[in-house]
Amino acid sequence: MTAPRRCIDCLAEYGRRDKKPAQYRPAPHPGPRCASHHRQKQKLSKAGAHERRVQKTYGLAPGEYGRLYLFQGKVCAICRRATGATRKLSVDHDHKTGAVRGLLCRPCNDLLGHIRDDLATAQRIVNYLHIPPAKHLQIQALHIDHRKDGTNG
């Protein structure tokens, strides 16, 4: 019977003489790393792939995505809620000139795409939120969310 393979990163991290071979975490088949080091390696690989893709697609220099991210306070430039923790923020660009503008979450990027970067439409959105049509007509109806109170009718 052969001895179980051990994680190469654990061996490098802790040194071969500090522990007995049986104390190192096992490396599951087919990889040479334990589960923790495998996840860490995957995360680094994924981050590198994202960096290369934004560099190639948008002409960003190495590290510029990170600089934009930090400059925006690690949030979407429009809604200021999405952090990019689960899904990386999209690189927003002007479709006419190709110039990179900033980083947006998917919904905000889709919104800009839907209004086709039209400033007049954006201004109508602002006006709508300030003085909606119902306010002009002096309608004072209120939405009641029946899901919260348990009634369905």
- Give 33: exposed, middle or buried? Use CB within 10 Å, 0-12, 13-18, 19+: buried
Go through the chain and tell me how many residues it has. Answer: 153
Domain boundaries, the chain: 1-51
The string of pLDDT tens digits covering residues 112-125 is: 999 999 999 999 99
pLDDT digits (tens, 9 = 90+) for 33-45: 888 888 888 888 8
Q: How confident is the model at residue 30 (pLDDT cuts 50, 70, 90)?
A: low
- Which residues have a Cβ under 8 Å from the Cβ of 4 and sit 6 or more positions away? 26, 27
* Contact predicate 27/8, CB 8 Å: yes
**Mean pLDDT across the stretch 7-31?**
67
More confident: 59 or 5: 59
Q: For residue 12, what pLDDT band results from cuts at 50, 70 and 90?
A: confident
Cβ distance 33 to 41 under 8 Å?
A: yes
Rounded Cα gap, residues 124 and 130, in angstroms: 10
Q: For residue range 52-90, list pLDDT tens digits in order.
A: 999 999 999 999 999 999 999 999 999 999 999 999 999
Q: What is the pTM of this model?
A: 0.76
Give the whole-number percent of the chain exceeding pLDDT 70.
86
Tell which wins on pLDDT, 23 or 131: 131
Q: Distance between CA 145 and CA 80 in Å, rounded?
A: 26
